[in-house]
Structure formats: structure tokens, C-alpha cells
Structure 1
């Protein structure tokens, strides 16, 4: 196990990530809070690229909860067949669209508990929406963030919730709002699961992984 990065090392890592990408955003394509919510629900066990290919066809047909609920489960499924678990996701999107209309006047709620009560929406999805739409300093821990937090010694933890809590404690407040995006991009394109690109890593000297490559 690597030693934990120090506070100074963590601060320096985020300073470098911010300098390299001052205004990071999600790679999911959307035109409204509702569309982001749907895209994030669909992104479970799927790539953002794959989700975008599907929603480019779906959102013009069903851009709102009303239109999505009218399209229905089977109609939604027809547009997202290229995404893994598409039938279950189509069911959840149809149900959450109806619940938004019935319980929230068709608006995406700005409330974690209300978000997590929607079909297909867990803690990670709620955090993504709260962060991307309302710029809340929350941490959505996906497989990339879980991996690099443990690998780098940034915020080790045995499960995603433990890593989330550790990140919230250890990341300086000035970086928290955008930290989720920087970490995902780092894990997706640099600190990859197999053959991490350590030679191209701007935080290589700060990383505490005993397995980092030359």
C-alpha cells in the first residue's frame, strides 16, 4: 500500500490539474438539468461516448420529462439499445420522468434525498447532478476516482463511500467544486487501469504508488 499523500502534495496536485484545465466539465452532452440526469442514469457501466451517441438521437425526440414519459419504456429502449443494461435503464428513465411530473412539477429537485428517491438514481448520480448543475462541492466517486485515490495515496478507502468521505476531508476547499472532474479525467486518460501513462502524468512526482512506471 502506498503512503498517504501529504496535504501539501494534494494541494500541489490540484493546483497543477487546475492550471492544465481551469474549467473542467462533464463529457456527457445535455441541454437541461433533466437531460443531464437522464444521461448520468444511462452512464452506469457505459462510456460517456456511448451515452452521447444514444442521447443525440433520444433527446431531440424527448427533451423533457413530459415527452420522455409519453415516449414510454419501449420507446426509450428503441433509442438506447447500444448501451449496456438498456432495458433496465429505459424503465428507470420512464419511471423517473413520471415521478418528476407527479412530485416535482417536472423539475429536477435540488435536494439529495429527493434525487436519490428517483428510480435509477443513487448517491453517485445525485452527486454528479448536484455538482454539475448547482456547483455543489460534492464528490461523485466512480471506478476511475476509486482506483486513483487508492493507487496514488490521495484518499485510500475500502469502498466508494470511504473514498468519498476521505476526498471531502483531504481536498482543499478551493478545489472541491471541480475536483470530481479533474480526477475523472486523470483516471480516464492518464492514470488508466491498465498501463497507466506515468510518463505523461503532471503529478508523477507527487504520486505515492509503488508501481508507477518510468
Structure 2
């Protein structure tokens, strides 16, 4: 593999994982709707592998009205029951209901200060570059993810503990956790 194509070891050789690594993971994301979708999907991932979510992401998008917070904020028991019958998503009542609560929280935050601003202020508006030397240095949470988790919960989000919040921060580029021997580490440093 050329130096240009060195990747984080977690993505392996699965084409879906490789594309996710190369095109999405760790890229600074500021679009509020895309941030909302990613946060909700990270919550659904709890207890599962991320590849499970990636393989079902399009089905999730269809089932959850393309993660439109204005639509989801109005959903309730009827939609919960319908979604619990959908084999294409993760059928977990608590996570489904948390999506609707999260949509309502998103709308309030977006109106007040902007959802992207609310999230990114937890890292001072710039990605944290962790300079990981290897996978053994990986962490599951940080002071910033603990603070973000607390803030999200206070707004009404659920399934946003410090570990989920940290995984979200990695995914949306708030933290650059590409190891330094991954070709994307330096690319993400300059993308901030």
C-alpha cells in the first residue's frame, strides 16, 4: 500500500468501511442536519459495531424521514410502533423514542444558537489534534466528550454518554484521531 493510501487499521478492507474512512470519518463537519443525523446514528450504534449502522444507513434515512428534525419532532407512539416493525433498522424502542426527543432538542438549540455552534464550542471551534502514534493510544472518552455529553443530556438528548459523544466527535472531525501513520491524519489537520 502506498504511503498515500495508509489508513486507520479499524477500517480493514471492507469497501464500505474504507469509503467511510476515506470520505467521511474525521472530516470536520459543520452542517447542522448532517451533525444531527450522525449523533442519532451514533446512539443507535451503542452496543453494536459501526459497520452494522453503515450497512443500514440508507434504510435508516428512509425510515426516519431523512433525519428531518422538524418532522421527527412531531412523531410519537404510532411512528414508534411502525419503526419497531422495520427489520432494516435497529429496533430498539428507547433509541427510537430518543430520536424524537433529540429532534425536539435539536430544533430548540438550532433556534437559540445554531446546532453546529453548540457542538463545536466544546472544542473551541477547532478540531483537537490528538497526534496518536498508534492504535494502543486510543481512548474512549475525554474531558470534552464528558462535557458535551452533559450538555446534550441537559438539552434533552438521550444515548449520548461520554463514550458515544467521543465516537461522534471523532466521526465529525471535532477530534482528529487518525493515527499519525494514517495518510488522512495530516489531511484532516489541514482541513480544520
TM-score of the aligned structures, taking structure 2 as reference length:
0.50
Which is bigger in relative contact order (C-alpha 8 A, separation at least 6)? 2
Give the greater-gyration-radius structure (CA).
1
TM-score of the aligned structures, taking structure 1 as reference length:
0.45
